[in-house]
Amino acid sequence: MLREPAADDRAALVELMASPEVHAFLGGARSREEVERALPTEPARRPGLFVVDFDGATIGIVTLDRRDPERPGRGGGAIELGYLLLPDVWGRGFAVEACAAALRWLDDVLPGEPVVLTTQTANSRSMRVATKLGFVELDRFEEFGAEQWSGIRRA
Ligand SMILES: CC(C)(COP(=O)(O)OP(=O)(O)OC[C@H]1O[C@@H](n2cnc3c(N)ncnc32)[C@H](O)[C@@H]1OP(=O)(O)O)[C@@H](O)C(=O)NCCC(=O)NCCS
């Protein structure tokens, strides 16, 4: 289930943000202390920020945000899909299922809006998720010392 963040998601969100495995292709994790300090007690809520809930357990987040036009690569200013799941649930199809639901939500609120996503080419799980969701290559570029792949999904 996708839902808005609640106060008792905090522990799982700290786990997610401080996990070296989750951030292996995202420039490395921040320390648990740093994440604890940075994360507000009352979670931020905005349209396009979803917690992924599986049978009452918080297992990750899916985001739809405008990509900063100052960032390298094509697709600046477009809506960008992001996804992070806790490692113990990887490989069970949750990422594809959760992202597809978020994209359906977007198709309802902003019909016709294209969506981009960016991932390191070395992040093979994430590349697979992008392909399964129907994203096609838009660009490849270097950022954070690694090759990045950006894909686009036209409505
Ligand atoms: C990317 C991520 C969300 C994928 O989650 P997931 O739940 O494993 O994804 P799914 O199970 O829905 O699908 C993964 C696909 O990768 C495949 N896969 C599983 N293990 C794999 C591996 N070791 N290498 C490559 N592909 C793998 C799965 O088989 C599946 O494809 P298939 O259904 O065709 O077999 C998860 O690994 C994650 O949170 N990573 C850290 C955060 C991140 O890198 N996010 C991407 C940047 S936005």
Amino acid at 59: I
**78-135 pLDDT tens trace:** 999 999 999 999 999 999 999 999 999 999 999 999 999 999 999 999 999 999 999 9
The verdict on the CB of residue 146 being under 6 Å from ligand 1 is no
Q: Ligand 1 center to residue 15 CA distance, Å?
A: 18
- CA separation, residue 44 to residues 4, 51, 92, 101 (Å): 9, 11, 28, 21
Domain range enclosing 97: 2-153
Which of 99, 91, 9 minimizes the C-alpha distance to 63? Answer: 99
**46-57 pLDDT tens trace:** 999 999 999 999
Number of domains in the chain: 1
**132-150 pLDDT tens trace:** 999 999 999 999 899 999 9
CATH of the domain at 87: 3.40.630.30
Q: What atom of ligand 1 comes closest to residue 98's alpha carbon?
A: 12
Candidate from 14-28, 30-44, 118-132 with smallest mean pLDDT: 30-44
Q: State yes or no: pLDDT of 155 exceeds 80.
A: no
Q: Ligand 1 center to residue 86 CA distance, Å?
A: 11
